């Protein structure tokens, strides 16, 4: 019984998870994010359209041509800003979808593996409802030193970015500002990376570059690649209290 397999990551299933993730990222770039590749050109076109649409209102005897060109320029700037905001919203939405899919797949795998050796809904429900940190505690108790990996902090940052995108100000924003300020667009940061204005930043300063998005994606791939092929009972340390109590509740409920 000491070498009973509690969790198993089947090779083809691991590869299917990675393949689905790569497909999501690739198609999101091609079908969604690529639409924002030419913002400046589209802003210039918006300014030209404004001039064309306003030409019938121009009276050379009463109007200064410079004012019309200036108004067209302002229209182009406004269009650029609105489209830039839409790009950022789309970018964050893609990241949120990517993270939530990974998170659901992880919990689904844990529960499915547990169903081979456990009966009762309490433990399953707790796996689904536990926050990211508690799930990390559980994985560590299985002998996987997750927190010592290079990608754990990137996954943690992605979690906070998604929470700030969804909820704005709050605990996640405070954690992000404290632990991962590189995901905030800081106008007070100097060339050395130091900031004198962190206290003035809020959730509206959330900013994720394409390079950071790629790092999030690579962290998810690295995670799936690192999931132990087999976790046997002999290598499990003391499980987190929340998980152990849920297991005990289900066992006591069994006839």
Per-residue pLDDT of 158-170, as tens digits, reads 999 999 999 999 9
Per the prediction, the chain carries an average pLDDT of: 89
| Euclidean distance between CA atoms 22 and 28, whole angstroms | 10
Per-residue pLDDT of 17-59, as tens digits, reads 999 999 999 999 999 998 888 888 987 888 777 767 766 665 5
Lowest mean pLDDT among 37-41, 117-121, 134-138, 142-146: 37-41
Distance from the first to the final alpha carbon of the chain: 22
At 38 the pLDDT is 86
At 98 the pLDDT is 98
Residue 76 in contact with residue 40, Cβ under 8 Å? no
The pTM of this model reads 0.89
At 67 the pLDDT is 66
More confident residue, 116 or 50: 116
Per-residue pLDDT of 205-223, as tens digits, reads 999 999 999 999 999 999 9
| Euclidean distance between CA atoms 90 and 88, whole angstroms | 5
| Euclidean distance between CA atoms 196 and 183, whole angstroms | 16
Provide φ and ψ at 248, rounded to 5°: -65, -40
> Helix (H, G, I), strand (E, B), or coil: what is residue 9?
coil
């Amino acid at each position: 019984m000491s070498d009973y397999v509690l969790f198993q990551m089947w090779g083809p299933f691991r590869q299917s998870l990675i393949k689905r993730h790569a497909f999501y990222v690739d198609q999101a770039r091609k079908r969604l994010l690529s639409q924002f590749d030419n913002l400046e050109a589209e802003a210039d076109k918006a300014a030209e359209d404004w001039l064309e649409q306003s030409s019938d209102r121009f009276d050379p005897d009463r109007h200064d041509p410079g004012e019309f060109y200036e108004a067209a320029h302002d229209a182009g700037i406004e269009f650029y800003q609105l489209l830039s905001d839409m790009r950022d919203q789309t970018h964050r939405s893609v990241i949120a979808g990517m993270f939530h899919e990974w998170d659901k797949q992880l919990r689904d795998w844990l529960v499915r593996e547990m169903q081979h050796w456990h009966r009762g809904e309490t433990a399953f429900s707790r796996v689904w409802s536990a926050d990211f940190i508690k799930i990390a505690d559980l994985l560590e108790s299985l002998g996987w030193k997750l927190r010592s990996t290079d990608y754990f902090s990137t996954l943690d940052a992605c979690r906070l970015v998604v929470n700030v995108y969804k909820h704005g100000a709050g605990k996640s924003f405070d954690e992000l500002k404290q632990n991962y300020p590189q995901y905030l667009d800081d106008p007070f940061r100097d060339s050395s990376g130091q900031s004198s204005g962190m206290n003035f930043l809020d959730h509206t300063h959330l900013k994720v570059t394409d390079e950071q998005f790629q790092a999030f994606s690579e962290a998810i791939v690295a995670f799936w690649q690192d999931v132990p092929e087999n976790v046997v009972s002999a290598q499990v340390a003391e499980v987190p209290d929340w998980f152990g109590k849920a297991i005990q509740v289900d066992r006591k409920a069994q006839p």
